[in-house]
Amino acid sequence: MSVYSIFFYLIAALMILSTALAVTRKNMVHAVLFLVISFLASALLFFLLGAPLLGILEVVIYAGAIMVLFLFVVMMIRIRATEGSGFLLWHYLGAGGLSALYVAACLLLVRHSGPGTGAPMPAAVAAPADFGLYLFERHWLGIEIVSLLLLVALIGVLHLGLSPAGQRSGKGGPY
């Protein structure tokens, strides 16, 4: 076992553990923090696999931006820890069944794949500068569309976020 494999198994275990903790915590803030650890671990995996840019993006976007946003929302609306799990028995059965199916498929895959059965994947390593140049040269229309999308989303959030009382100050609607 090389030192890389040891790192891999360590990180993978950390990922599974923190994700498991994230979905079982009653306190939402703790759950989000554990999810951040899980994202950091997956970023480490990307580093290990030789994709540093992807790793950094994972840290900046997922662990950094999105999760901090979640944290803000959770803290702002102050969700209290609920009593009981809120799930019924058949929820557990359904989820367990699907997961078992998934694990079985994975085990089957592992069994049938060994040395010599896999197709070699070409290594694609892009320096951040190359990636940025490619993105902005070839797909800048897409980036412009995304910027418009953000504007529209902002309008939507503003509309939804306005207090309903302010909305109803006009004359009564059809409903």
Partner 1 sequence: MTNWTLFAPELFMLAAAGLFFVLSLSRPQPARDYAVARVAAAVGLSLTAWAVGAEGVLFAGTYRVDLFSQVFKVLITTGFFLVICLCAELSGVADKRHSEFYLLLAVCTLALMLLTSCVHLLAIYLALELSSYSLYILVCLRRGREKGLESGLKYFIIGACASALMLFGFALLYGTGLSLHLADLARELPGRIHEPVVLIGFVLGLSGFLFKIAAFPFHFWAPEVYEAAPNQAAAYIATVSKAGGIAVLMRITAAAGAGGDQLVGFLMVVSVASMTLGNLAAIAQQDLKRLLAFSSVAHAGYVMIAILSFNAMGLSSGVFYALSLLVMKLTCFMIVIQVSSGGSNIKINDLAGLHIRAPVLAAALMLALFGLAGIPPTIGFTAKLLVFTAAVESGYLWLVIVAMINVVISLYYYLQVLKAAYFLEPKESAPPVRVPASLNFLALVLIFLTVAAGIYPRPFIAAAQAMTFGIIG
Nearest approach, Cβ of 139 to partner 1 (angstroms)?
6
Cα separation of 133 and 126, whole Å?
Answer: 11
Cα separation of 98 and 104, whole Å?
Answer: 10
The binder of partner 1 chosen from 116, 120, 161, 174 (CB under 8 A): 174
Residue 132 interacts with partner 1 (CB under 8 A): yes or no = no
Task: Mark 136-155 with x for binding to partner 1 (rule: CB under 8 A) and - for no binding.
Answer: -xxxxxx--xx-xx-xxx-x
Nearer of residues 80 and 159 to partner 1, judged by Cβ? 159
| SS3 track for 78-117 | CCCCCCCCCCCHHHHHHHHHHHHHHHHHHHHHHHHCCCCC
Nearer of residues 72 and 136 to partner 1, judged by Cβ? 136
Helices (H) and strands (E) in the chain, counts: 8, 0
Nearest approach, Cβ of 90 to partner 1 (angstroms)?
22
8's CB contacts (< 8 A; 6+ apart) are 45, 48
Task: Mark 85-124 with x for binding to partner 1 (rule: CB under 8 A) and - for no binding.
Answer: ----------------------------------------
Cα separation of 32 and 63, whole Å?
Answer: 10
Residue 161 interacts with partner 1 (CB under 8 A): yes or no = no
Residues interacting with partner 1, by CB under 8 A?
A: 137-142, 145-146, 148-149, 151-153, 155-156, 159-160, 164, 167, 170, 172-175
